[in-house]
Amino acid sequence: MVTIDDILSAQERIAPFIRHTPVMPATQMRDAVGLEGRVTLKLELVQVAGSFKARGAMNRLQTLPPEKLRHGLVTASGGNHGLAIARTAHVAGVQAKIFLPSNVAPDKVAKLKVWNASVEIVGSVWDEANEAALAFADGSGATYVHPFSDPVVVAGQGTLGLEILDDMPDVDTLLVAIGGGGLIAGLSTAVKARRPQAKVIGIEPVGSPTLRACLDAQRLVTLNNVSTQVPTMACRRTDEAIFQTVSRHVDDIVLVTDDEMQAAARWLWFEFGIAADLSGAASVAALRTGRISRSADDHVCALICGAGTDGMA
């Protein structure tokens, strides 16, 4: 499992290559339903390439020997991890090959092409795209970078937890979107090491309750069906290390619908001009629908983890 020392090392390693993203109090809103009290938005959507994924991707790059880069990088992604790998490959001066499911947001595909990544659409969910990415890696010699089942990537994502505590040392509750679970595993490890009394609450789609199902069963499970249309949060199965870390450090996981995330993305755009994708709006969806139990004086961090045009329609 990833440790706080792994995350501290990652923080030092990637510092020259990422942004320290801003925080903003959620105030002066026309419609403050669910965000009453002290809520701070962590604007990770302005991270390089548009999401927290830049942290884990860059940490992986900085630990790869030069010979592993000779044939480029390959991954499967719902969009955000692919963008991070494309940017990372650009920094390294190598080619990136990104496999995506058919429901990937068109704006993310367009951004991938701007980063000069080679893009291929395979299957309807991440798991199917991932099979194609692994096959490509085997045949081409490209280095495969997993979006969550890689402790080096998870340690990179964990640096976001340290940064939140630097910005908000008195935070009481952190709300974190979940796809495969790498972000919440790394972030919760960092937070519980530094501020154990803080609660870490995950948010998953009703149509892809991957880790909620694991916690309910008290074992690693594979979902029979994934019905969410949020590609960055669709995953049939996490891995054992992620599950064990979440079991140890995450206080709760709540579920929101795709429509609730869509409404939250529109709310963020209307109230603040924040262009979040649906995973980036998940924390606000959980607040606005009353899924988060909190006292009036709790300081809540709503992580806006990814950029997109979903709220602008």
Please give the model's pTM, rounded to 2 decimal places.
0.96
User: Contact at 8 Å (CB) between 99 and 91?
Assistant: no
Mean pLDDT of 216-244: 96
Name the region of 218 (left: φ>0; alpha: ψ -120 to 50; beta: rest): left
pLDDT at 303: 98
pLDDT at 296: 87
Task: Name residue 116's amino acid.
Answer: N
Q: Cα separation of 281 and 293, whole Å? A: 18
Q: Does domain 4-51+151-312 have CATH number 3.10.180.10?
A: no
Tens of pLDDT, residues 57-97? 999 999 999 999 999 999 999 999 999 999 999 999 999 99
Residue 313 pLDDT class (50, 70, 90 cuts)? confident
Tens of pLDDT, residues 90-124? 999 999 999 999 999 999 999 999 999 999 999 99
The DSSP line for 79-133 is SHHHHHHHHHHHHHT--EEEEE-TT--HHHHHHHHHTT-EEEE-SSSHHHHHHHH
pLDDT at 260: 98
pLDDT at 1: 84
Q: Which CATH class, in words, describes the domain spanning 53-144?
A: alpha beta
Q: SS3 of 301, please?
A: strand
In the chain, where does the domain assigned CATH 3.40.50.1100 lie? 4-51+151-312, 53-144
- In sequence order, the 6+-apart residues with CB closer than 8 A to the CB of 110 are none
Residue 181 pLDDT class (50, 70, 90 cuts)? very high
User: Contact at 8 Å (CB) between 87 and 49?
Assistant: yes
Task: Look at residue 134 and tell me whether its pLDDT is greater than 90.
Answer: yes
Tens of pLDDT, residues 18-64? 999 999 999 999 999 999 999 999 999 999 999 999 999 999 999 99
